[in-house]
Structure 1
Amino acid sequence: MAGQPLPPYPFNQDPDRTVSYRQPSPGSVPGPGTQPYTYAAQPPVAQSPAAQPYAQQPYAEQQYAQQPYTGQPSWQQVQIGAPQPPARKRGRGWLTAIVAAVIVALIGGGGVYAMTMLSGGGAQPEDVLPSGTMAYVRLDLDPAANQKVALFQLARKFSATRGAFTGDDPRKALFELLRQGDGDLAKIDYARDVAPWLGDRVGLGVLAPKAGSSTPRVVAAVQVTDQEQARAGVRKLDADGELKGLAFREDYAILAETQAEADAYAKAEPLSRDADFAADLKAVGEPGVLSFWGDAGKIAKAAQAAGATSAAEAGTLDMVKGVRFAGALRFDGEYAELTGISRGGAVQAAAGAEGARLSRLPATTVGALSVSGLGGLLADQWPQITAAADGTMGGRSFSDFVDLARQSYGLSLPEDLVTLLGGNITLAVDERGLDGAVPNAGAVLSTDPAKAQEIVTKIEKFVADSGAGAPQLTKVAADGRLIIAASQQYADELAADGTLGGSETFTTAIPDADSATAALYVDLDKIEKYYLNGLRGEERANAQALRAIGLSARRSGDVTSFSLRVLFN
């Protein structure tokens, strides 16, 4: 089939399908009217659901469309072969763009690693680790194609990873990074001792301690390509002999503390068939390069059964019984994202909670924090808060402090605090005035403005009487809001609807910000001038690569989802 045009198939189909490419020699790069790149491939096979690319991150169409490579044609100039269909069908347009972008990024740009490695299929560590695992971490160097391309692209922005993430083997890149901080690995030759048998995936599981022990059991699953070479290679890597048990299941080596445990784990029901585990990982979505899962309830139960907790710690562990969590580390051409969920627990989301207000802040906002439902949460948890505070008052009772606030200043706790926090509280700092004596900072409280203003006045008197200096604050009442700021001008700006939500940096850092129940945003590009002068060389270059940080969370019932994104220039 050599000489045929490149079809718009996804690159993360069956890993056994081999694809090879011929690149013209320097000076013969195709241009308009010349022959396109050619390929030779076996017929495509059906794509499994697990190998689908991250459907909600069609970043390549945005990331590469306007980035031609020096000395090479931009992807718009590369002739893909067959003409584009007249109508753009759902799901096909962005896929074709990814194909074109990957060709230029990996072939035209000098090559990050071979196209044959863009598979993303095959068994995962959870398919061989035992059910009953309390906590689990997985590293996958063979994720979906979009994840690998973005990972290598971002890794090359930083000096600490730029040298390692080159060539055509991501396993070697990781090994070289680990060797930099581990003297024992300096004796290991990757090409001789590791490459012949090491696969692309590693999983680590933690199980409850044995009876009479307080130490959790650990089991590892390492993907291998040759069992006999793996036996020798694993022993060489585990020089301390911490994992004496070795068994094989499918194409994984199962490593445990004893041989009996390794044999038992290799025959056990797999973790992937645990209903809770499967539901949690499905809720997370694309597992990315790194994923994790844990059952906090099982962990707390095991710790208590082993007698590894004090009475005070046992009370804390009781609060997490029934809580499970899961998450993944994913990459895009513009950012790295740590995302996840938690389920269960005693704390429930307030019905009809107001969303975060960050998108309505001024466009000059450099940092902001918005939290909804704190008032209702404080009211529900006040007894627990009082009990916890009693242990930090140096022999005095927290109730004494509450009585003093009521008698001397007319503050009623927790009622006044519940009113003040209201449905949402948003704190903001503006770019203008950061180098002044008092920065432009303020708060927007979604509450009864008249009642809240009275409470603020009482608190100001309390602060003044305590001897703590405090700046003069401007208070502006708006419709259902009280704005408190360092200046009248900034208070007026916060009272009006701003346009931060129109910033591409903001919307990338915090997607769907108005639906979040909590959000944090920092625009690093706007404040880098205040810290770059103290940095030199590679440290300065690394800092300049950082663009912004966004953290958002959403809660519905007993389920909380979160996303932490670090954006790059």
Structure 2
Amino acid sequence: MSSSVPPPPDGSEPSQPGPQQPEQPQLPQQAAHGAPYGPEGAPPRRRRRGLVVALVVAAVVLVVGGAAGAAAFLKLAPRGAQPDTVLPADTIAMVRLDLDPSAGQKVAAARFLTKLPDVAKTGDDVDLKQSLWKAVASSDEGLAKLDYRKDVEPWLGDRAAVAVLPGGSADKPHVVIALETTDQAKAKAGIAEVAAAGGAKEPLDVTARDDYALVTAKDVTADLTAGLAKGTLASSSTYTADLAALGDTGVASMWVDTPAALKSLGSALPTGAVPASALSKSGRVAASLRFDADYVELAGVTRGGAAPTSTTGAGAGKGLTTLPADTMAAVQLSGLGEAVKANWSAASAQLPAEQLDAVQQQLGVSLPDDLAVLLGSRLTLAMPKQDLQSLGGSDVPTIGLESVTTDPARAETVVTKVTELSGVDNLVSHQVSGDTLYLATTPDYLKALTGTGTLGSSTRFTTAVPDAQKATASAYVDLEALRPILTQDASADAKPLLQSLTAAGFSATIGTDGSGSFSFRVLGG
């Protein structure tokens, strides 16, 4: 499949998002359209398998293994409704998979995937849904015994979602699985068979609504029905506004009403998977996995959150853009100094007071003030291109630091004290220029950092790190420069893929009103 496909259209279908996934029900059988039905109880034989895993695996199939199915993916013609049209308006979280996204996404995915190895060798007979099913079924003895062509393909559609409704608890959340179906009658037997094979431990209901089968535990069905009577998620003005801010929802997406999710799920919500700003007691987060001709991106927005107490350093200066052109890796964070001071009481409470006093006396510093000054309003760590594999055990890689701070002279004094007491003062060069303290492990790199670099003029950098000058946090990695390390222990199958990736970048912004955005991109070429 060549990359000379027509440019993508301007429009794109609305899609939807979803949450982190608590344990969800296995699939039972289904009744007449609009009515729930379920088995009297399938015998428990094996541990339950969360079908949310299927959504995650599908994304991997598209992004990594998707190279093998690019032609098949492009052949799909967009049709049908999205899962948010059959989920209640009071849904508090949702994660969605779409193997039939907008035409623009299909063209972009095809263009990107042709840059990955072996796409030109693949035919048009790759079935993405079958690849997904095999990935999921391979980890379950019961599901592995099913025949995809006979037991699954005749009824399974191209879209799916897992949603959480209000009223549940951390131990037993109210979960709904929405599966698009191509034949409701065949889905009745098929879903029941999958549930039995997967070892469902309790009877479940399946409510047929439009072209979807909504799978719930029996004690959740009434809430589902009552919620749908009040409207669908797609009709929620808050939800649709969040999706409008997000843009194209790509091949997978998620949406979470944070306070409602925290109230319902509590400690069961995996907080590490979403930005810190999305975990406040207010606001919402939406994210999507989507394609561009040059990259695959995980993009997201946070909306309606509490305004930050301070945005000092956020978007100030030019961030990574003025680093040297030969930068191999870099990360920039804003507001660390103020964050240290704001959280010092809680952090220092974890250590004995006498231990902290001893550290301050030994280093000749005052905590947290000196640490806050050193970290400043914007901190940047950077590394130029170099042969890391040739470094010996005692060799120090070339790295540098820039700290924009209110008192750079004081920050330099702290560095001098710490490096001298640590015996590494001969390994660190430092200099103050204006409001910035510069440090480097070599004099040459210190000189390069204090000059005006041109990394921001690189197309690869600007593609990987959007809005770098405005970012509250950003990062960049030149994967091409790191190929020797990335591929040295890679398998024969993984090595061509790693060799085809050129860069990765991250950027995040947060505004004074609490809204924000983030982007993580991986470039191929």
Match of residue 479 from structure 1: 434
Of the three residues 92, 95, 101, the one matched with 1:137 is 95
Q: Give the Cα–Cα distance (whole angstroms) in 1 for the partners of residues 195 and 355 of structure 2.
A: 57
TM-score w.r.t. the length of structure 1 is 0.70
> Which one is further off, 346-355 or 439-448?
346-355
Contact 2:278 2:285 in 1 (8 A): no
Question: Aligned equivalents of 1:278 and 1:500: distance in 2?
Answer: 37
After superposition, where does 1:243-258 map in structure 2 within 5 Å? Answer: 244-258=204-218
Equivalence map 1:58-97=2 (5 Å): none
Equivalent position to 2:154, from 189, 196, 209: 196
Q: Distance in 2 between matches of 1:164 and 1:158?
A: 12
* Residue 189 of structure 2: aligned partner: 232
The separation in 1 between residues aligned to 2:126 and 2:69, in whole angstroms, is 11
Partner of 1:27: none
Alignment match, 1:412 = 366
For residues 321 and 284 of structure 1, what CA distance do their matches in structure 2 show? 21
Distance 2:400 2:472 in 1: 19
- In 2 relative to 1, CA 345–176 (structure 1 residues): closer, same or farther, beyond 3 Å? same
Task: Judge conservation of contact 1:520–1:551 (CA < 8 Å) in 2.
Answer: yes
Report the CA distance between 1:545 and its aligned residue. Answer: 2.3
Q: Distance in 2 between matches of 1:480 and 1:488?
A: 20
Partners of 1:166 and 1:173 within 8 A in 2: no
Secondary structure in 2 matching 1:139: strand
Equivalent of residue 218 in structure 1, options 169, 172, 175: 175
CA contact (8 A) 1:249 1:266 kept: no
Q: Check the 8 A contact 2:243/2:286 in 1, yes or no.
A: yes
Task: Pick the aligned partner of 1:503 from 437, 458, 464.
Answer: 458
Determine the C-alpha separation between the residues in 1 that align with 2:154 and 2:204: 22
The amino acid across from 1:217 in the alignment is: H
Whether the 8 Å contact between 1:164 and 1:173 is mirrored in structure 2 is no
Could you say which structure has the greater relative contact order, defined with CA pairs below 8 angstroms and 6 or more residues apart? 2
C-alpha deviation, 1:264, in angstroms: 4.2
Summarize deviations over 1:104-153 as a string: whole Å, max 9, x none: xxxxx99813876332x542111211233222101111111232244456
Change (3 A) 1:10 1:461: closer
Amino acid at match of 1:363: A
Q: Using the TM superposition, give the Cα deviation of residue 262 of structure 1 relative to its aligned residue in structure 2, in angstroms.
A: 5.3
Counterpart selection for 1:284 from 246, 259, 269: 246
Q: Could you tell which deviates more after superposition, 517-526 or 178-187?
A: 178-187
> Take 2:168 and 2:319, find their aligned partners in 1: how far apart are those partners?
50
Q: Where do residues 403-482 of structure 1 align in structure 2 (5 Å cutoff)?
A: 403-432=357-386, 434=388, 435-436=390-391, 437-447=395-405, 448-464=407-423, 472-482=427-437
Larger Rg: 1
TM-score, L = length of structure 2: 0.76
Match for residue 59 of structure 1? Answer: none
* Greater mean deviation of Cα atoms: 236-245 or 443-452: 236-245
Q: Note if contact 1:245-1:261 (Cα within 8 Å) is conserved in structure 2.
A: no
Q: How many residues align?
A: 449
**How far is the alpha carbon of 1:486 from its aligned partner?**
0.6
Deviations 1:26-73 (A, max 9, x none): xxxxxxxxxxxxxxxxxxxxxxx65389xxxxxxxxxxxxxxxxxxxx
Gaps of 5+ in 2: 1-5, 16-67, 270-275
Amino-acid identity (%)? 37
**Aligned partners of 2:117 and 2:500 also within 8 Å:** no
Shift of 1:325: 1.4
Distance 2:278 2:468 in 1: 33
**Are the counterparts in 1 of residues 70 and 114 from structure 2 also a CA contact under 8 Å?**
no
- Gapped regions of structure 1 (runs ≥ 5): 1-7, 13-48, 54-108, 310-315
Which of these residues, 494, 504, 508, is aligned with residue 449 of structure 2? 494
**Alignment RMSD, CA only?**
3.5
Instruction: Give how far 1:483 is off.
Output: 0.9
TM superposition shift of 1:439: 1.4
**Conserved in 2, the CA contact under 8 Å of 1:155 and 1:162?**
no
Residues 1:386 and 1:449: Cα distance change in structure 2 (over 3 Å) = same
For 1:513 and 1:134, locate their aligned partners in 2 and report how far apart those are by CA, in whole Å.
Answer: 32
Q: d(CA) in 1 for partners of 2:378 and 2:361?
A: 28
User: How many angstroms does 1:9 deviate by?
Assistant: 10
Q: Distance in 1 between matches of 2:111 and 2:248?
A: 19
Q: Give the whole-Å Cα distance in 2 for the aligned partners of 1:293 and 1:52.
A: 13
Deviations 1:407-428 (A, max 9, x none): 4544222222222222211111
- Give the 3 Å change call, closer, same or farther, for CA 261–322 of structure 1 in structure 2: closer
* Residues 368/318 of structure 1: CA separation in 2 closer, same or farther (3 Å cut): closer
**Mapping for residues 10-409 of structure 1, pairs under 5 Å:** 51=13, 112-113=71-72, 117-119=76-78, 122-151=80-109, 166-167=124-125, 169-210=127-168, 214-239=171-196, 240-241=199-200, 244-258=204-218, 260=222, 263-264=225-226, 266-303=228-265, 320-343=280-303, 344-345=305-306, 347-350=308-311, 353=314, 354-355=316-317, 357-379=319-341, 381-382=342-343, 385-391=344-350, 393=351, 396-397=352-353, 400-409=354-363
